[in-house]
A and B are shown apart, each in its own frame.
Chain A
């Protein structure tokens, strides 16, 4: 399971404040602790209301780079931010994210190919989040086809079928599971399948329980990457245990510790 840590996000008050005040320590603590907890990549999001989002994003990147070499996921819906920031990043960053509309997607695929980046693409177009399985799969197929045409290998494509809060649209978790199963069959090798997990429990009671159970369900449907909170130990234990039960690791009595040694 490829885990992208979600905690460096301007939606969180402490992160927003740190960005405003230029306080690196808060950001760096979050970077270190998430990597130690098993995140392979760190999502960076400056939050909604920044006057100069490029500058804020570059500042976040600098702060994080001082403490870890983990892959960075640049989280912004703004093309201007992505096209400015991604070419400045070394390594193999992840662009998060593009929608499925052809004009927009083509630009993003081009940027990913040019910069050796990976790309998260949402099964979402101008009409919004699809309500059903079929439209999600149709948009997923469109994304896969455009990535292939543009020269982006499937190993660097993450398709996100978008999970909505269970208290808003209760049929959606099941719809997304079915979409995941079908998206896995798109190509061989298949693209990565990813979700922004915490959205499923937005404004719900027992959030961590909902997140944990749904992640296990989604993994069994083919999810192989997630944007989530790695500091939720029980969530990470659930990931390890699911992979164990899927025979992705050899059992031993200390399997939780053993799996953490691999990171």
Chain B
């Protein structure tokens, strides 16, 4: 008996978003990276185009990374208090982009000034020619002072800036519009708010095609099924024609995986869970490959081995989808 035809036809495509600008495009990046473009349920290549290869950004902090788990600190020990050295080290891992998180501007984590942050952005852009994500500390009042300065400092480089939220979007949207950057829209595990935030940005003149959505990430074991269901619902609506849910999706897999005790805990604390040096990177890798199934287009990652393993998984997956 012939198996029933199960392929669905989709009427719409997930937006393609390009980050970075080469000299030809008015920037100084060595290359650009484009994400999105899927026209099928994630990786069901028989339904349609699976879109661009998901991209990996390695996360670095301007300062304050002493709070990272020991295994990560070991990897980046010599470079963690120097964002330029850290950026060079991250670049050696062969990622598609860098993600500079400005945690040092947080009022409780150093309270670095907007000018200091902008200088760091400039210096990282000068040192490394990968496309850059710049992400604020998450305190609205501070971000609204710091990020516009950083947008200006990165003018022409077509960076991806994070993040706008439903309660705080106008300042960053205006700065990204003025200086030609893309934006991350952060919604708290709620597809209704993801959609609403996009229409709010659109209503103040920001193109829906320049948004990457971040409906949150969960590590394996910490609600990743729930996040999957939210991402799935949004993706199906987008593919079905809803322009407010056709944005590519970002996931902070490094941050979330390394919050998990299964990733962090030393061997003696979790007997039977295997050696911490393998367990941690594996937790991050699986958090990433798991969320690939939900259609994630851009990963923010931390551990070098996890970056390598996810690159290899993507090699295999993309080759299979293309064949």
Contact = CB atoms under 8 A, between A and B. Distances in A.
A51 interface: no
B244 interface: yes
A127 interface: no
Interface residues of B, number: 17
**Interchain residue pairs A-B with the least CB separation, the first 4:** A252-B195, A252-B196, A254-B199, A250-B237
A252 B192 CA distance: 5
Contacts of B202: 261
Contacts of B200: 254
Contacts of B244: 252, 258, 261
Interface of A: 249-254, 257-258, 261-262
14 contacts: A250-B192, A250-B245, A251-B192, A252-B193, A252-B196, A253-B192, A254-B196, A258-B242, A258-B244, A261-B202, A261-B243, A261-B244, A262-B242, A262-B243
Interface string B186-205: 00000111011001101100
Interface in B241-279: 241-245
Nearest to A253: B196
Contacts of A252: 192-193, 195-196, 199, 244
**Dominant SS among interface residues on chain B:** helix
Nearest to A248: B240
Interface of B: 191-193, 195-196, 199-200, 202-203, 233-234, 237, 241-245
**Dominant SS among interface residues on chain A:** loop
A132 to B, nearest CB: 38
A224 B175 CA distance: 43
Contacts of A251: 192, 195
Contacts of A250: 191-192, 195, 233-234, 237, 242, 245
Contacts of B245: 250
A258 B241 contact: no
